[in-house]
Amino acid sequence: MTVEHRGWRTRLLTLWLPLGVSLVFALFPFYWMAITSLKSNQELYNRKVMPLIVHHPTLKHYVDLLTETSFLEWTWNTFLVAVVSTAISLVFGAMLAYPLARMRFAGATMVSFAIAATYLVPQPLLFVPLADLINRLGLGDTLTSVMLTYPTLLIPFCAWLLMGYFRTVPIELEDAARIDGASRLQTLTKIVLPLCGPGFISAGIFAFTLAQNEFLYALIFLTKTEVRTVPVGAIAELVKGDVFYWGQLMAAALLGSIPVAIIYSFFVEHYVAGLTAGSVKG
């Protein structure tokens, strides 16, 4: 990135040290989850042994999770729901963001306020009337019910974030395209969108994550085991009264998130590459 040469001391101070500290902070709980998922209950509850090492690893919790619960089904449901609601949110978000970022039109301030005002609706109360709405539409116990409701949580954020990214595109580029005879829509799809790839990826990551994380709507709208998502399914079947099935819960947490992390890393890589290409073209 920078052209100058740096000594190893600078490199240590500006890169490895902060990176190391962040990694430890970010990953320690995962390490904890991993060892918890590999420990037998006897070892987990044993205060006398050093807690950071697995002395007698066992895959029992993973086997139980995969054989005794519908974990794979939940994972598939979660993935499906997250992909669809993310797609809806990005499309709608972009449709809102572009005019708001670049155009002058009557009611623009009102619209931009109204979008984020969605978050003013207190979620702990929202679910009662929403459940009514879902029932009237005949969508109870279908994945469609959450695919439709999650975007209400996701669109405002996507829209605002994309507005920010749309603004980082130099207006001169758009003007030039318009002078060359491109329509507004062409300007958007051919010039602005490609340049905002990173923005879409970060908004998409956010939306996807929030969708697969969501608990309350999934709890209310999805009542049958076969349509549940991972968080709701795991809590419903692995928390029994005041006893938690720690090992299985942690196995579910890891199995559910590591594939997503790998997918994300591809995206992150892609948007760095895409950006370099875009700037050369521009």
What 8-state DSSP symbol labels residue 52?
T
Give min distance, CB of 87 to other proteins, in A: 13
Phi, psi (5° rounding) for residue 40?
A: -75, 160
Closer Cβ to other proteins, 62 or 93, answer by number:
93
- Report in angstroms how near the CB of residue 230 gets to other proteins at its nearest: 6
Handedness of CA 85, 211, 148, 203 (dihedral sign): negative
Instruction: Give 28 or 59: the residue with its C-beta nearer to other proteins.
Output: 28
Q: Which is nearer to other proteins, 59 or 129 (CB)?
A: 129
Q: Which is nearer to other proteins, 67 or 243 (CB)?
A: 243
Q: Which amino acid is at 168?
A: T
Nearer to other proteins, 59 or 183 (CB): 183
Phi-psi category of 51—alpha, beta or left, where left has phi over 0 and alpha has psi -120 to 50? Answer: alpha
Alpha-helical segments (H) within the chain: 8-11, 17-38, 41-44, 60-68, 71-102, 108-117, 123-136, 143-168, 171-179, 184-186, 193-195, 197-213, 216-221, 230-238, 246-281
* Least CB distance to other proteins at residue 4 (A): 8
Q: How far is the CB of 194 from other proteins (least distance, A)?
A: 12
Pairing of strands 239-240, 243-244: antiparallel
Minimum distance, C-beta of residue 73 to other proteins, in the bound complex (Å): 15
Q: How far apart are CA 49 and CA 66, in angstroms?
A: 29
